[in-house]
Chain A
């Protein structure tokens, strides 16, 4: 009697164990399938970068070679020297002395990006502080007005802005690209910062006020240091937007020595290539150079970055 029970429970255990191990196997296989899918997707994402890198190191003839080479037979690092300095070591088809160099374009882009960034951080945070913390008649109406402007696409104001800057005699300068940003830095960023400021208890302001700090002192000494993470997110997005901006420079910049990198790339492919068709190896080297600063920023500030995206909903 007791024996049979023991035997019964024994087989039940065995069955359960078998079922358990089947479940575990299913789980392992599912995991494996998921990994395979993710790795496949990862390759699909990275192959374009790899192809660009590989092409940038090939001589021109190798790019159109059939069958294609995945890794160039002899990597031509000098392609990068050519696009960065604008000078070709060999005299044939030389564009030396024509005034373009991607180092120059990068410098121009960095210059614009910097002034846009400073203007945006200062004025957007100031406006955000005003909307979040200070009480004045008409605040809510103005705030809603500001939110409404987020819905207006920039293309509607593009032509009148062009006329304004033409009348100000600032075409072919960086003023049209940077100046508007110094006036509030964009409704979206004000909104983002205001939300962040609202999440800080106002006891800090009150304490500082009681200690005799002025309202602007509260902004400078209390609020700004406390919203650093949000300012970081704003800075990242501002950097990306300026660095990659194409339409603005396309409309406003006309002389080559002022080109930003995106417009420099366009110019380089369509005009400056020494051959009748674009020299893809050089175009790819230049494009990769243009991608390096955003990529570096992403890899080094990744935590900030992902946080910023999640908080703000900007996809990059």
Chain B
């Protein structure tokens, strides 16, 4: 720490005893001004709505008339009397497990291949990252055509190797796998993060492992994976949180069908709120989502101590 900063601390401690000095008061003033936009936004667009949402979840509200207090009725229905809620959780969870697990394995695999120093790194990286750049409605449209049983390229390619392709989005069994397939297309985003992590592993660790007689697999298992485990962990958490918030593709491509096979949780929130105008019930659902995400995040952080290795951390 430089002396000026140290001086500052001393003087700050000194003025605290006698109340704030003029300079410190002015600094604090500017500080409040600097964070004021955020703070106003926090109160008006975060905290206020959060509490309002909790209140609305205890009411029957259709936007057109005033909210009517119904107590825990919405929560009761959501937790015990609405099979669609549990179904949508199941759909979302299956998608989450499939997309996150495959994303991890394939994304990491790609990064490992790219890290083998075979040449063309930046070219391949650009190619594989491109799908992560585009998203939203345009990508959903593209996949609608790709997955089309007649006009789509996927079934055309399957035909070439003699496999009759399924009807994908029109088939209860295959609609959700189609969404997972779509998510795999975007693994380049995770790959870039893994690649950066791999390039950050100190080479002397590999030299040491080689001297100890480790082959490529032990090196991967005992050096590479532990060293990049923080990034794996980070991607895992973000992937799970993201997969619980799938909306655009589900809304555009299937609107939950066929037979609710792709009724993702956030789609349920949206439909209840803005199509069925059950704003109270939708608020309860939204709170359930928030709690689920909170719990998943906490569980992930809890478990991380057991398998995530932080370099420089004293145990």
Contacts and interface: CB of A to CB of B under 8 A. Distances in A.
Interface of A: 30-31, 34-35, 37-38, 41-42, 44-49, 51-52, 55, 63-64, 66, 68, 123-124, 126-127, 129-131, 134-137, 139, 142, 145-146, 149, 151-153, 155-164, 166, 180, 182-185, 190, 201-203, 206, 214-216, 219, 240, 243-247, 250-251, 261-263, 265-266, 269, 280, 283-284, 286-288, 290-291, 294-295, 297-299, 302, 306, 309-310, 313, 315-316
Interface string B258-287: 000000001001100110000100110011
A14 B139 CA distance: 58
Contact of B31 (A46, A135, A288): A135
Contact of A34 (B116, B125, B134, B247): B116
A163 B151 CA distance: 43
Interface string B127-151: 1111111111111011111101011
A153 B134 contact: no
Nearest to B37: A123
A64 B151 contact: yes
Contacts of B49: 156-157, 159-161, 164
Interface in B53-90: 53, 56, 63
B297 interface: yes
A40 to B, nearest CB: 11
Interface in B1-59: 2, 4-5, 12, 24, 26-35, 37-42, 44-46, 48-50, 52-53, 56
Contact of A313 (B31, B137, B193): B193
A127 B193 contact: no
Q: Is the interface of A mostly helix, strand, loop or mixed?
A: helix
Given A41-B128, A155-B245, A316-B186, 13 more contacts: A52-B145, A64-B151, A127-B35, A131-B35, A139-B31, A142-B35, A156-B283, A159-B49, A159-B53, A164-B45, A183-B44, A184-B38, A291-B139
18 contacts: A34-B116, A38-B110, A48-B146, A52-B145, A135-B24, A135-B27, A146-B38, A153-B289, A201-B2, A219-B34, A246-B252, A262-B138, A280-B151, A297-B133, A298-B133, A310-B192, A315-B189, A315-B190
What are the 4 A-B residue pairs with the smallest beta carbon separation, nearest first? A183-B41, A315-B189, A130-B34, A184-B38
A158 B273 CA distance: 10
B113 A38 contact: yes
A149 B190 contact: no
A243 to B, nearest CB: 8
B293 interface: yes
Nearest to B54: A156
A63 B156 CA distance: 12
B43 to A, nearest CB: 9
B196 interface: yes
Contacts of B290: 152-153, 155-156
A287 B130 contact: no
Contact of A156 (B114, B156, B289): B289
Given A126-B34, A146-B42, A283-B141, A155 B146 contact: no
A153 B245 contact: yes
Interface string B106-134: 00001001101011100011111111111
A64 B294 contact: no
B34 A129 contact: yes
A139 B134 CA distance: 38
B153 A45 contact: no
B185 A45 contact: yes
Interface string B204-221: 000000000000000000
Nearest to A302: B126
A131 B36 CA distance: 11
Nearest to A139: B31
Contacts of B310: none
A233 B128 CA distance: 20
B42 to A, nearest CB: 7
